[in-house]
Homo-oligomer: A and B are copies of this chain.
């Protein structure tokens, strides 16, 4: 149920935005945190408007509708931000594979883990590169966006290190002959 809060949050940062504008924001700044498709977004905007969380503040060319956060919407955002306990995502595609990796034998398992580690190392390098090229300004999205960036870096590094560790673990088992 958090797509709505992503929308409310964006409308809190940039008052007055159209569905189209918001879609661009999702693509450039929320893509790694909470992706949304165009269909989903327009649907949610309709619902939020009907519930009085946002309202059409102006209409422009080509049927453009500029939405604005209402007091109810802002209240809902703050409530969610501070009072609704965040629930960490539990499904992890990669971990699921690891669970069943015994099915392929230790050599293939070790190769798989090594490969994944290298892949993450590449992705971390890309992220560092991206970070270097971003020009952070001083608004809220930038300050807190930097925190999110650091999270991404630490997350990738943690997974890379774990893959390397796990590959070594399996190597140990390989030598044991188990």
The size class of the interface chain A forms with chain B is 35 or more
For this chain, the copies found in one complex come to: 2
Most chain B beta-carbon contacts within 10 A, residue among A99, A145, A151: A99
Chief secondary structure at chain A's binding surface: helix
Residue A30 CB within 8 A of the other chain: yes
- Is A103's CB under 8 angstroms from B33's CB? no
- Is A141's CB under 8 angstroms from B99's CB? yes
Residue in B33, B94, B108, B138 whose beta carbon sits within 8 Å of that of A178 in the complex? B138
Q: A13-B103, A82-B108, A103-B140 are in contact. List 5 more A-B contacts (CB 8 A).
A: A6-B96, A9-B99, A33-B96, A34-B90, A102-B139
In the assembled complex, how far is the CB of residue A26 from the closest CB belonging to chain B, in whole angstroms? 11
